[in-house]
């Protein structure tokens, strides 16, 4: 039996003590749900990781402040349809005002509210819609509202993305539930407080803010930071982790309990990261790029990300074209240091390149490997212990259509 059990139909509200709602405030012309609220019935410890984009959105700037300041968090409000990015001091004031409105309606301090936004960049937030969203979302809060919240944060996503797991820690059942959105503008580089993808994670484990921070960032580095749809980092990438302690299972850094919790948290985050790539705008392929035996980890990162973000590679995957010349070209310009004569490449387990040249596998066999919905490209440099992997999607006609029409 697996130590970590997935909860059927899991979401943020699979975690005891968390409520959520998803409503229509009017941000989307379609009339689809566009405002989500997650609420902890008791004050929760929390942490977050955020985009490293210099043009960070106003909600990111505000939430970073809250993470640095510390304290507790009770609510996380998310709107879909306006990014509140590149909106200057007014945008930051509007983000603060959103927290004040939420706090007043929930009967909690504004400092205990975090906000996130996704949508069009450079447009001031219509605060009347924030007011409307909160007026609808607060009374709609429910212990079964997680799926509604996951739907409300979608933009170009075709399906909501939510998951929850249960694990026994110290003899006590601990739940971790989460939701995310993201299908385009996906190539996160999340950092500690220092897609758009937005993610809310809830748990009933007991842990202080510093412990949560020590667990969240490494998990982000091995999940959301390992995915790419189009190589474009968002201004708004945000992951917030809240822990209300209701289970009574205490997590202390450096203990076996903390390691088990980290394992469960990573499983949640990788499940959502994978779902984002599978639902990438116009995506028809899920491609894992593995780099092995590089001279260093840094070389492996450069090489894997170059292949994952190569437009020529991504369009070849869409066309079921095994053109390995595009892969070696991406490796060659990646900046990674390696000896081409030692490079071997495989599609799944089928040899493509051997010692820097054609491995001699008939092309029709290679076509069979790349025709699948999922496949793995392994690049073995044969020189050291450095390794890295990335999850990527292909680039289709539909991606261009979606993004050509998005603004208008």
> Which amino acids are annotated catalytic?
196
Ordered alpha helix ranges (H), 200-296: 209-221, 256-278
* Cα–Cα distance measured from residue 162 to residue 177, given in angstroms and rounded to the nearest whole number: 8
Nearest to 48 by CA among 37, 35, 59, 39: 59
* Cα–Cα distance measured from residue 406 to residue 196, given in angstroms and rounded to the nearest whole number: 14
Contact 106, 19 (CB under 8 A): no
**Residue 327, token pair as written in the block:** 């892969």
H-helix or E-strand containing 90?
A: helix 88-106
Contact 388, 299 (CB under 8 A): no
**Residue 274, token pair as written in the block:** 């994978």
Give whole-number Cα distances, 259 to 12, 168, 176, 182, in Å. Answer: 22, 12, 14, 28
Strand ranges for 221-312 from DSSP E: 227-228, 238-243, 286-294
Q: How far is CA 353 from the centre of its chain?
A: 33
Count of CB atoms situated within 10 Å of the CB of 321? 17
395: which residues sit within 8 A by CB, 6+ positions away?
230, 282, 311, 314, 315, 317, 318
Count of CB atoms situated within 10 Å of the CB of 401? 12
Give whole-number Cα distances, 336 to 19, 201, 328, 332, 351, in Å. Answer: 47, 35, 12, 7, 22
* Cα–Cα distance measured from residue 21 to residue 223, given in angstroms and rounded to the nearest whole number: 26
């Amino acid at each position: 039996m697996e130590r970590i059990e997935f909860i059927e139909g899991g979401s943020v509200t699979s975690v005891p003590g968390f409520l959520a709602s998803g409503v229509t405030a009017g941000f989307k012309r379609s009339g689809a749900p566009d405002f989500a609220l997650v609420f902890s019935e008791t004050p929760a410890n929390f942490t977050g990781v955020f985009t490293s984009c210099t043009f960070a959105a106003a909600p990111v700037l505000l939430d970073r402040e809250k993470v640095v300041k510390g304290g507790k968090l009770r609510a996380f409000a998310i709107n879909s349809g306006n990014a509140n990015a590149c909106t200057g001091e007014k945008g930051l004031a509007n983000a603060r005002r959103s927290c004040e409105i939420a706090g007043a309606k929930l009967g909690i301090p504004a400092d205990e509210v975090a906000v996130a936004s996704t949508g069009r960049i450079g447009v001031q937030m219509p605060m009347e819609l924030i007011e409307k969203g909160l007026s609808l979302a607060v009374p709609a809060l429910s212990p079964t509202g997680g799926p509604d919240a996951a739907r409300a944060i979608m933009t170009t996503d075709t399906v909501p993305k939510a998951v929850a797991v249960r694990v026994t820690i110290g003899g006590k059942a601990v739940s971790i539930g989460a939701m995310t959105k993201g299908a385009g503008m996906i190539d996160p580089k999340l950092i500690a407080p220092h897609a758009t993808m937005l993610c809310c994670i809830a748990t009933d484990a007991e842990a202080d803010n510093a412990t949560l921070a020590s667990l969240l960032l490494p998990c982000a580095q091995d999940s959301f930071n390992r995915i790419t749809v189009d190589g474009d980092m968002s201004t708004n990438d945000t992951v917030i982790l809240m822990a209300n302690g209701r289970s009574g299972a205490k997590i202390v850094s450096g203990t076996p309990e903390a390691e088990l919790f980290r394992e469960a948290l990573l499983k949640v985050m990788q499940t959502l990261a994978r779902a984002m790539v599978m639902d990438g705008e116009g995506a028809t392929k899920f491609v894992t790029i593995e780099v092995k035996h590089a001279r260093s980890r840094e070389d492996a990162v450069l090489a894997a990300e170059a292949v994952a973000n190569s437009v020529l590679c991504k369009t070849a995957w869409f066309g079921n074209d095994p053109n390995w010349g595009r892969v070696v070209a991406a490796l060659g310009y990646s900046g990674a240091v390696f000896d081409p004569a030692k490079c071997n490449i495989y599609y799944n387990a089928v040899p493509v390149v051997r010692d820097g040249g054609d491995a001699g596998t008939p092309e029709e066999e290679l076509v069979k490997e790349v025709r699948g919905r999922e496949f793995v490209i392994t690049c073995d440099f044969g020189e050291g212990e450095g390794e890295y992997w990335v999850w990527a999607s292909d680039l289709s006609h539909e991606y261009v259509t979606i993004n050509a029409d998005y603004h208008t």
